[in-house]
Amino acid sequence: MSLVLAAGTMLGACGKSDEKDTSNGGGGGDAEKDNFTVAMVTDIGGVDDKSFNQSAWEGLVEYGKKNNLEKGNKGYDYLQSKSDADYSTNLNRLAREDYDLIYGIGYLLAEPVKEIADQRKETKFAIVDSVVEGDNVASITFKEHQGSFLTGVVAGLTTKTNKIGFVGGMDSELINKFEVGFVAGVKSVNPDAKVDIEYAGSFGDAAKGKAIAGKMYNSGADIIYHASGGTGNGVFAEAKELKAKDPNKEIWVIGVDKDQHQEGFVKDLNKSVTLTSMVKRVDLAVADVAQRAKDGKFPGGEVIEYGLEENGVSIAPTQDNVSEEALKAVEEWTGKIKSGEVTVPATRDELKSFK
């Protein structure tokens, strides 16, 4: 009799466990349920990098608010990576916790996303800034070269020294799009300007960013565009220090991914050294794909690209430091790009033949 009762108890417990798993948002669950859970894994820049990862997180928060969800495993959450070795581990952990949709934020997570997505066919994944093949993976990309071109137009019409800097994170196909588009924009409005290009080899080394910026400013550059995540915090730090020492010095930083006007704010002077920023709407894209997935329209196996036409890239809405001449030029070049009159180069080879 005791054995029969024990068996019945175990079966009852199993039934309750299965019922709970069905309702808590597992990878194979119903996409229409209220608590469609979403999480993301950052690269080493961290969720508070004031740039790429932070923008992605803001997109998840926006998705959560729209759907009355809270931070945590019944709503939306993130795991922060401290090193490249954490990527696969973090993605796998979120998959085991039964999140319905898991984002890999940044092209450095492409291989880890591919690896875990192949193992977890019932879970939906999305990669930002790269393309991963797989029916359960959506690939989110941007036309960074278009937005960077517009910031190049602003830089070319603003520089007084005709010396401009570009600081990249990793020298890669993706960051080359920022570099190439920027150079094309500068040269289109100011052929005499020279752009000094240097890569830090990291998206999380603020000290390296500061050192590179110091060298560029000391060599006469008056504007630096960074596409380097957390490394760019060092670029801002150097510019603010130089501006604080000499308030009359014309010195600027062009931010990336988010409107980084506040990152360049010098409190004692009550002004910002941020000229403008290339806003890349990672937040919009992340929230968009999450909502599509929740609504049962997950774009698995597709590549979704956000450019000027989709309002995926632009110069920052804060335009206090941009001249009327530059703003007018940005408007004109935006029209040319959207109409197809101008095709912005995305690679160094394309830049060579760009006119």
Mean per-residue pLDDT of the chain: 91
Backbone angles phi, psi at 99, to 5 degrees: -70, 140
- 17, part of any domain: no
Number of domains in the chain: 2
The answer to whether 99 and 122 have CB atoms below 8 angstroms apart is no
Check whether residue 178 and residue 136 sit in a common domain. Answer: no
Packed helices 144-158 and 324-339: angle between N→C axes, nearest 10 degrees: 150
240 shares a domain with 138? no
Residue 128, domain extent:
27-142+282-306
Per the domain annotation, does 5 fall within a domain? no
**Same domain? 241 vs 335:** yes
Among the residue ranges 45-59, 129-143, 236-250, the one predicted with the least confidence is 45-59
Q: What is the pLDDT of residue 30?
A: 42
- Whether 22 is in a domain gets the answer no
Please report which confidence band the pLDDT of residue 59 belongs to, taking 50, 70 and 90 as the band edges: very high
Q: What is the pLDDT of residue 250?
A: 94
More confident: 159 or 25: 159
Rounded to whole angstroms, how far apart are CA atoms 89 and 127?
16
Residue 5 has pLDDT above 50, yes or no: no
Residues 32 and 129 in one domain: yes
Is residue 174 domain-shared with residue 230, that is, in the same domain?
yes
54 and 134 in a single domain? The answer is yes
Q: Does the structure show a pLDDT above 70 at 4?
A: no
**pLDDT tens digits along 38-58:** 999 998 888 888 788 999 999
Q: Which amino acid would we find at residue 57?
A: W
| Structure letter (DSSP) for residue 260 | -
- pLDDT of 22 > 70? The answer is no
Is the predicted pLDDT of residue 315 greater than 70, yes or no? Answer: yes
Residues 114 and 177 in one domain: no
SS3 314: strand
Give the residue, 6 or 283, on which the prediction is more confident: 283
Give the model's pLDDT for residue 34.
61
Rounded to 5°, the CA angle 129-131-133 comes to: 155
* C-beta of residue 59 within 8 angstroms of C-beta of residue 40: no
Residues in the chain: 355
Q: To the nearest whole percent, how much of the chain has pLDDT over 90?
A: 86
Q: Is a pLDDT exceeding 70 seen at residue 280?
A: yes
Q: Judge if 209 and 299 occupy the same domain.
A: no
Q: What is the DSSP string of 190-259?
A: -TT-EEEEEE-S-SS-HHHHHHHHHHHHHTT--EEEEE-GGGHHHHHHHHHHHHHH-TT---EEEEEES-
Residue 15 lies in a domain: no
- The answer on 200 and 149 residing in a single domain is yes
Phi, psi of 142 (to 5 degrees): -135, 160
233 part of a folded domain = yes
193 neighbors 186 (Cβ within 8 angstroms): yes
Residue 12 within a domain:
no
pLDDT at 14 over 70: no
**Reported pTM:** 0.82
Give residue-wise pLDDT tens across range 168-178: 999 999 999 99
Q: Quick one: pLDDT at residue 355?
A: 80
| Residue 3 lies inside a defined structural domain of this protein | no
Instruction: Please indicate whether residue 239 or residue 34 has the higher confidence score (pLDDT).
Output: 239
* Same domain membership, residue 118 and residue 68: yes
Find the CATH number of the domain harbouring 108: 3.40.50.2300
Q: Are 156 and 74 members of one domain?
A: no
Is 236 contained in some domain?
Answer: yes
- How confident is the model at residue 32, as a pLDDT? 46
233 and 289 belong to one structural domain = no
13 pLDDT above the threshold of 50:
no
CA-nearest of 148, 165, 173 to 277 is 148
Q: What is the pLDDT of residue 246?
A: 97
Each residue of 71-130: pLDDT tens digit? 998 999 999 999 999 999 999 999 999 999 999 999 999 999 999 999 999 999 999 999
